[in-house]
Amino acid sequence: MTQMAASLEEAPQGRLRIHTEYAASCAVLHVHGEIDVLTADVLRERAASAAAPLARPRLVLDLDGVSFCDSSGLNALITVWKAARSRRGDMVVARPPEVCRRILARTGLDQHIGVSPTVAHALRRIASR
């Protein structure tokens, strides 16, 4: 437990960058870097902050810049999706790279979490929900 805490504290800055913008009453989070045990909480926190001002949080996670995603990253995606759904909102993943598409498909989450080829498509898809 102590070793994990030390590893988290030593996580290099900049491993995960997230830029948020709002479009069509949705929050679009452009994610770049690695989503893993050292950065998953950053994604959860930034998504929660982006969703906070929205009455019905509709989130688009643009994963085009993601280079790695492990089980902690997958858990973060599930947590963000469930949090949005708990407030009658939703989440769509846009432009997932192969590493993310594979993990979503193998776990069957792509049958529950919307996956779109572009941010524009994701915005249209989520706005209609």
Domain of 18, CATH number, reads 3.30.750.24
3-state secondary structure the chain: CHHHHHHHHCCCCCCEEEEEEEECCEEEEEEEEEECCCCHHHHHHHHHHHHCCCCCCEEEEEEEEEEEECHHHHHHHHHHHHHHHHCCCEEEEECCCHHHHHHHHHHCHHHCCEEECCHHHHHHHHHCC
Indicate the number of domains in the chain. 1
Res 41: pLDDT: 97
Q: Which domain holds residue 116?
A: 2-127
Res 13: pLDDT: 60
Mean pLDDT by 10 residues, the chain (129 residues): 35 80 95 97 97 96 98 98 98 98 96 97 91
